[in-house]
Amino acid sequence: DEYVHEPEKVVMRKPPRRVSPPTRVAPPIVRRPKPPKITKTMYGPKFEQLLFELRRLRGQGRYDRAVHMLRDKLSTFREQGAKEVLSFELGSILTHQLKRRRASCAHWRSHLQVFQRSTRYKASIRRYMRELSCP
């Protein structure tokens, strides 16, 4: 009888799997919705001139003057859309630049009542009112 001796099989083991630490998930980036673009001829040259002046005053940091101008000119427009845009700009300055909580809350309540059929800015305004803790 012959014995055949086979060499031992060398079994290579795989190295242990490295468990990577859990990956951190960055919180989602929340972006403010952009207001609709206003075309140059949408409400006429008078409206365009007012927006130009508003941008200039904002750029100079003259927010009180911008608020005064918007309050003064708001009633001169017949188009509800133009009035709504200007009212939103007024509330935006009161809320974000001047940080006048009581005046902002009063303005936003009035805006929602006057423009209750419009949905253009409603979500943004409701968010601002929550952030301001408006009564």
Alpha helices in 38-133 (DSSP H): 45-59, 63-73, 80-92, 101-114, 122-132
Whether 40 is in a domain gets the answer no
Whether 123 is in a domain gets the answer yes
CB 46 within 8 A of CB 73: no
Give residues with Cβ within 8 angstroms of 73, minimum separation 6: 50, 86
**pTM for the structure as a whole:** 0.70
pLDDT at 9 over 60: no
Quote the domain boundaries for residue 57: 45-132
Task: Determine how many CB atoms are found less than 10 A away from the CB of residue 74.
Answer: 16
We report the CATH number of the domain holding residue 93 as: 1.25.40
- Residue pLDDT, tens place only, 12-67: 566 667 766 667 777 777 676 665 565 555 788 899 999 999 999 999 999 999 99
**Structural domain count of the chain:** 1
Whether 1 is in a domain gets the answer no
- Measured in Å, how far apart are the chain's first and last C-alpha atoms? 102
Whether 105 is in a domain gets the answer yes
